[in-house]
Structure 1
Amino acid sequence: MDHTITVAIIKGLSIVTAAAVPSIITYIVSSKYFKKRDYRKLESQYLIALKDIEYLLEVERIHCRRNMEMLDQSHRHNSRKAVEIETQLSWSGKNSQKRVYLKRAKLEEKLNETKPS
C-alpha cells in the first residue's frame, strides 16, 4: 500500500474516533445519571408545591374577602407590598390561581396515566 493512502486512512480514522469518543462517553454518562433520577418522585413533589401555592392563594382570597367585609377594602396590594419590603420576595404573577389549577390538573392527569397497574 502506498504511504499516502496509509496516512489518509489514519487521518480519517482519527477524525472519526475524535468525534465518536466524546459522543459515546456523553451517552454512557447521561444514561447512567438519568436512570438514577426518580422523575415520578419529582413530579409528585411538584404536584405538592402546586397544591400549596393554590392553598395559599385561596387563603389570601378569603383573607381579602374578610377585609372587604370589615374594612370595605381588601388590602391585597398593601399586603403584597409589605411582603416585598419585609422579605425581599416578590410576586412574579406566573402562578395565578387559574394557572396553578391548570398546571395541577395537567400534572395529575399525567400521573394518573403513568400509574403502574
Structure 2
Amino acid sequence: MQNIVIDNLLVMAIIKAVGNILTAAVPSTVTYLIGRKLINQRKLQEKLNLALSDIQYLLLLEKLHCREHQIDVGQSKKQLMRDCVKHETNLSLSGRFTFSRINRELSSQTRSQINSKPIRPSRQYSAF
C-alpha cells in the first residue's frame, strides 16, 4: 500500500515538473518563431528594395543609352535591342516595373516605414 502512495506522489511530481518546463518552453519557442519570421520578412523587403533600385538603374541606363543612339544615329534603337535580347535569350520585359511604378513603390515603402511606430498593445484587465 505504501508503494502505491509513493508511486502516485512520484508521478504527480513528474507531471508537475514537466508542466513547469512546458510553461517556460512553449512561450519561448513561439516568440522565437515569430521573431524569426519578422526578421526574414525584413530581409526579403530589403532584397526587394535593392532589386527595385537595380531595375530603376537599368531602366535609366537604357534611357540614356537610347538618347546617345538618338543623337549619334538618329534612332534610339530601343525596340531593336529589346527584340534582340528576346530572340537571343528568350527573356522579355514584363512591363510591370516601369520607372514611375518603381518610384511609386519605393516612395510608398519609405512613407510606411516613417509612419510606422511601434504600437503598444492595449492592457487587458483581469476581473480578479
TM-score in same-fold range (> 0.5): yes
Instruction: Tell me the distance in 1 between the aligned counterparts of 2:51 and 2:115.
Output: 20
Deviation at 1:44, TM superposition (A): 1.0
Identity %, equivalent residues:
31
Match of 2:52 among 50, 63, 69: 50
Q: Secondary structure at the match of 1:81?
A: helix
Mind listing any 5+ residue stretches in structure 1 that lack a counterpart?
A: 1-30
Q: Which residue of 2 aligns with 1:81?
A: 83
Q: In the alignment, what sits opposite 1:6?
A: none
Distance in 2 (alpha carbons) for counterparts of 1:33 and 1:78:
50
- The Cα shift of 1:107 comes to 1.5
Q: Does 1:100 align with 2:102?
A: yes
Distance apart, 1:35 and its partner CA: 4.3
Question: Structure 2 CA distance, aligned partners of 1:67 and 1:115?
Answer: 48
Q: Mean alpha-carbon deviation: is it higher for 85-94 or for 104-113? A: 104-113
Paired positions, count: 87
CA distance in 2, matches of 1:73, 1:34: 55
Measure the CA separation in 2 of the matches of 1:98 and 1:114: 24
Q: Which runs of 5+ in 2 are unaligned?
A: 1-30, 119-128
Equivalent residue number for residue 24 of structure 2: none
Which of the pair has the greater relative contact order for Cα pairs under 8 Å at 6+ separation?
Answer: 1
Q: Aligned partners of 2:53 and 2:117: how far apart in 1?
A: 19
Contact 1:54 1:97 in 2 (8 A): yes
After superposing on structure 2, the runs of 4+ consecutive aligned residues of structure 1 that deviate more than 6 Å are none
Q: Which residue of 1 aligns with 2:113?
A: 111
Q: TM-score, normalised by structure 2?
A: 0.60
TM-score (norm. length: structure 1):
0.65
1:47–1:108 CA contact under 8 A, matched in 2 = no
CA distance in 2, matches of 1:78, 1:33: 50
